[in-house]
Structure 1
Amino acid sequence: MQFKPVVALVGRPNVGKSTLFNRLTRSRNALVADYSGLTRDRHYGEGRVGTYPFLVIDTGGFEPVVKSGILKEMARQTEQAIAESDVVIFLVDARAGVNAHDHEIATMLRRAGPKIILAVNKAEGMNKVQATAEFHELGLGEPVPISSAHGDGVADLIENALASLVNPVVESSEETSMTEMDEEALEQALATEEGEEVSQELFTDHRIKLAIVGRPNVGKSTLINTLIGEQRVIAFDMPGTTRDAIEIEFEQGDKKYTIIDTAGLRKRGKVFESIEKFSVIKTLQAIEACNVVVLVLDAQSEISEQDAHIAGFILESGRALVVAINKWDGLDQDKRDWIIREFERKMRFLSFAKIHYISALKGQGVKALLKSVNEAHAAAFRKLATPKLTRELRAAVEQQPPPRKGIFRPKMRYAHQGGQNPPLVIIHGNALDAINDSYKRYLESRFRKVFKLEGTPMRIEFKSSTNPYKDSEK
């Protein structure tokens, strides 16, 4: 198991950290660590620049010498981000030049020990040598001129920062091997049942990587102990990854599992009391490293914004999901009805996932929970035969054609599977850019029902045929 490395953005206020964060993540949909008592938060996102996968942390303006108030809390957040990171990008301002705060931050970073890249921001339109000259005095190696706002030098910055830490992302041949089919080949494929027998292969010999995630004190550790203890199997730890994660292996019947444990882990570097209970980075990494996530919620408290953020990251990562609402025992009916309404209101985007109401402490509902894990895993890795996908697509269109856009109606010719975990269905045809989200949800619902894809997100992509004569037309 290889976790994505963590990049922390550090610097004094107004040097462009958030602008760089936005560019690295290509969105503002970052997970926020909303620990109680912390007035300024770290923002987490998934890096989408260059060929290396990574996680990125945006921090507030760093004032290392402040002893009290909001700025002190922001400094604590930045120190925690540095402790969690594999590499720190220290941003300075090319137009403002070096100041005393830059020297203080540089001294602190040298003591902290992570790999440091000095990025001189706002260098657009400036001579590179002049933009970086005075920053050599910080003693952090060769300064790299960039522009967060315009993107100048950003891709090279990330490539250099991560080159020694990870392997480049290589496109899966499974997702790119399917080319346009001619009509004769398509009809021949539809006329046969070739591939039908293997389309429901469920990977029975595959070890299921399972992440148990949730806020502090929702019962994650208790659930892990119950899963292992009730089965009375030998469990063993496999420490030694770069992030001090622990893998716990166990078996039930003919199923093999590896729990990626995010609770009670040893921490690198300096930590704080509130962070010892819950590490956002470890949770994000566990989600990305697993096949199935069990999201644990606390029935005795409200469903928080933090719960929704974690759920959103699971959905974005494409991981299969089972929801466990814990501490269900002992609640009266009014309280149970209230938490069900809360979940439906705040987590309606998880409609594909099964929900279990459990007591991890008493073991109630845990057996059924594990059954749903198996089913979600099978759905995530299910093979979908092109003939059956295409027949279902045509049946869906016949029952409800896509709406017209102007005088044109989108025409969908065939569908094939482009990937697994999550299942990806690629639909080929003409004028498919006109298909709206509502019709896309209709197709998704249809495919889910026919191919039994409950428990996993799925993706649908449209690829329109090109007109070879378009550019030559006068």
Structure 2
Amino acid sequence: MSTGDWVEADLDELEIDEHEHHSAPLPVVAIVGRPNVGKSTLVNRIIGRREAVVEDVPGVTRDRVTYDANWNGRRFTVVDTGGWDPDATGMNLRIAEQAQVAVELADVIVFVVDATVGATDADEIVGSVLRQSGKPVILAANKVDNQQLELEAAALWSLGLGEPHPVSALHGRSSGDLLDVVLDALPETPAVTFGTERGPARVALLGKPNVGKSSLLNKLAGEERVLVDPMAGTTRDPVDELIELGGRTWRFVDTAGIRRRDRELQGADFYAAMRTRAALERTEVAIVLIDASEPLTEQDLRIIGLVIESGRAMVVAFNKWDLVDEDRRYYLEKEIDRQLVRTPWALRVNISAKTGRHVDRLVPALEKALDSWSTRVPTARLNAFLTELVQQTPPPVRGGKQPKILFATQASVEPPKFVLFTSGWLEDTYRRFIERRIREEFGFAGSPIEVTMKIREKRGKKDK
């Protein structure tokens, strides 16, 4: 019986996210309104999935957050903003400023008002600002769950923004009608298309709260795109930003700081952690930001483990390196080597997000990690390498028999997965040895790889 008769490895095709194939910039719809009127609920209704963090507490959305959406075959970008309060101070003022920036960038503005409350003084002021913007403004009267409230919503004509459009973001009532009005107001939008060209590489920024993720994103962008505040937890939604670096466009996803184990989280923090995991799943490579001025924590190691578990390429960036003196740097390098002994393949960069020191080293590291993540080793070369390796260091004997590696193939990329077809069980230590030698021979710096085995079933004599 030939080896080919029983090798059944699936050679996975690369999965391409069709929705990332945007050649022209999409028109932008900004969702604005005072705090807690249901903006994020409306965004979730528009994009058709629960992605924006929703909680019945004002101020849960703190940055302007973008999502891709399509309606009736036309594509556009939705921007969810923090509550716009004209009397805001401190952190609330920063949130309001982000909302104003979103309005400036938008092609169409959807102004959300709580129909059960009616027009407040704050709504009147925001309405006045929107009228002066010169942009098309669509007035959404939210929380209209019945016909009686629909009649009461008519009172919102007083805002001087035209016809109020009654909608229930929570239950979906009349949301399609609202989207039809939005499309009529938008400039011509590209149709949904499917092709083979990849969009920008997607990079997740991960780390515990207040480690400097938003500062790094702002430094890379060259402007303040997300809020930076000494108070931990100011980012809760994953924030997507397109940034030009090293001659190419990257889509950065700034995520909420992962605090502790999910079971210890409550409310918006719990959902923010879930969104962070979802954000990681739709990226190719992660930057794990670690505070170099403090010892590595269990939290840091758990976040690194999360990236490994997701199978994404990884760059570990040690932030605040400028705060570490020379003596401490030497011992810190030793500590890092010891604590990251299970992930020696992770690429490491020492940076300062605040000053910009060595931030330019991130792009080569990201590119190297992505190249490794998509590397495919030719089957003939892989088997020639393994044949020589097994001759030099054969597998340990198990149950009085020595297992043989009959054939090997790389079953997939992104992340690279190898399947060994064997005559018996290979010890975990031997498989780790093979993984280490594969890395030494073929690279894969910055990328996890997986080595699994498929044991040949014993056949009858006629099959031998």
Q: In structure 2, do the counterparts of structure 1 residues 335 and 456 end up closer, same or farther at CA, with 3 Å as the change threshold? A: same
Q: Is 2:454 aligned against 1:463?
A: yes
CA contact (8 A) 2:203 2:284 kept: yes
CA shift at 1:206, angstroms?
5.8
Residue 45 of structure 1 is matched in structure 2 by none
- Offset at residue 449 of structure 1 (A): 2.0
SS of the counterpart of 1:350? coil
- Is 1:354 equivalent to 2:336 in the alignment? no
- 2:327 alignment partner, one of 322, 330, 334: 334
Cα shift at 1:253 = 4.4
Shift of 1:207: 2.6
Q: Are 2:401 and 1:405 equivalent residues in the alignment?
A: no
Superposed CA deviations along residues 271-322 of structure 1, whole A, max 9, x for unmatched, are: x999679942232222222110100000122211111111111111111111
Aligned residue number for residue 416 of structure 2: 423
Instruction: Quote the offset at 1:211 in angstroms.
Output: 0.4
1:437 aligns with 2:428: yes
Distance 1:388 1:336 in 2: 41
Residue 361 of structure 1: CA displacement? 1.4
Aligned partner of residue 359 in structure 1, secondary structure = coil
Are the structure 2 counterparts of residues 470 and 293 from structure 1 closer, same or farther at C-alpha, using a change threshold of 3 Å? Answer: farther
1:144-191 CA distances to partner (integer Å, 9 max, x unpaired)?
xxxxxxxxxxxxxxxxxxxxxxxxxxxxxxxxxxxxxxxxxxxxxxxx
User: For 1:470 and 1:303, how far apart are their aligned partners in 2?
Assistant: 58
Tell me the amino acid that sits aligned with residue 312 of structure 2. Answer: R
1:365 alignment counterpart: 358
Matched residue SS, 1:249? strand
Instruction: State the distance in 2 between where 1:360 and 1:273 align.
Output: 30
SS state at 2:221 partner: helix
Give CA-to-partner distance per residue, 1:374-430, whole Å, 9 cap, x none. 110111111221111111111211221111113311111221111112100111121
Aligned equivalents of 1:423, 1:409: Cα separation in 2? 27
Within the alignment, does 1:315 sit opposite 2:301 as a pair?
A: no
Residue 458 of structure 1 aligns with an amino acid whose one-letter code is I
Alignment of 1:381 onto 2:378: no
| Residue number in structure 1 paired with 2:65 | none
- Indicate the residue corresponding to 1:245 in structure 2: 238
Which residue of 1 is the match for residue 437 of structure 2? 446
- Structure 1 residue 79: deviation in Å? 10
Change (3 A) 1:466 1:399: same
Shift of the 79–449 alpha-carbon distance from structure 1 to 2, 3 Å rule, reads: farther
- CA distance 1:275–1:244, change in 2 (3 Å): closer
Give per-residue Cα distances to partners, 1:227-250, cap 9 Å, x unaligned: 2229x9xx99xxxxxx95332112
Contact 1:326 1:360 in 2 (8 A): yes
1:25-104 equivalences in 2 (<5 Å): none
Paired residue for 1:191?
A: none
Deviations 1:87-144 (A, max 9, x none): xxxxxxxxxxxxxxxxxxxxxxxxxxxxxxxxxxxxxxxxxxxxxxxxxxxxxxxxxx
Distance apart, 1:470 and its partner CA: 7.9
From the superposition, tell whether residues 79 and 411 of structure 1 become closer, same or farther in structure 2 (CA, over 3 Å).
Answer: farther
Change (3 A) 1:334 1:469: same
Aligned partners of 2:256 and 2:276 also within 8 Å:
no
Question: What is the aligned partner in structure 2 of residue 48 from structure 1?
Answer: none
Name the CA distance, whole Å, in 2 between partners of 1:284 and 1:450: 32
CA drift of 1:210 comes to 0.4
Flag the structure with larger Rg.
2
Distance 1:345 1:464, change over 3 A: same
**How much has 1:465 moved relative to structure 2?**
1.6
User: Would the aligned equivalents of 1:326 and 1:358 in 2 still touch at CA under 8 Å?
Assistant: yes
The within-5 A match list for 1:9-408 is 207-229=200-222, 245-263=238-256, 279-408=272-401
Inter-partner Cα distance in structure 2 for 1:447 and 1:206: 30
2-side partners of 1:332 and 1:367: how far apart? Answer: 22
Distance 2:447 2:267 in 1: 32
Distance 2:336 2:216 in 1: 20
Structure 1 stretches of 4+ moved >6 Å: 272-278
8 Å contact from structure 1 (residues 221, 263) kept in 2: no
Matched AA of 1:421: E
Cα RMSD, aligned residues only: 3.9
How many aligned positions are there? 263
**1:390/1:415 contact within 8 Å kept:** yes
In 1, Cα distance between equivalents of 2:266 and 2:331: 32
Q: Aligned-pair distance for 1:467?
A: 2.2
CA–CA distance in structure 1, aligned partners of residues 456 and 330 of structure 2? 50
In the alignment, is the contact (CA less than 8 A) between 2:237 and 2:255 conserved in 1? no
Call closer, same or farther: CA 1:273–1:389 in 2, change over 3 Å: closer
SS at match of 2:394: coil
8 Å CA contact retained: 2:287, 2:314: yes
Contact kept, 8 Å, 1:228 with 1:250, in 2: the verdict is yes
Q: Distance in 2 between matches of 1:318 and 1:366?
A: 25
**1:319-367 deviations in Å (ceiling 9; x for gaps):** 1111001001032123323433332333322211011111111111211
Are the equivalent residues in 1 in contact too, given 2:318–2:348 (CA < 8 A)? yes
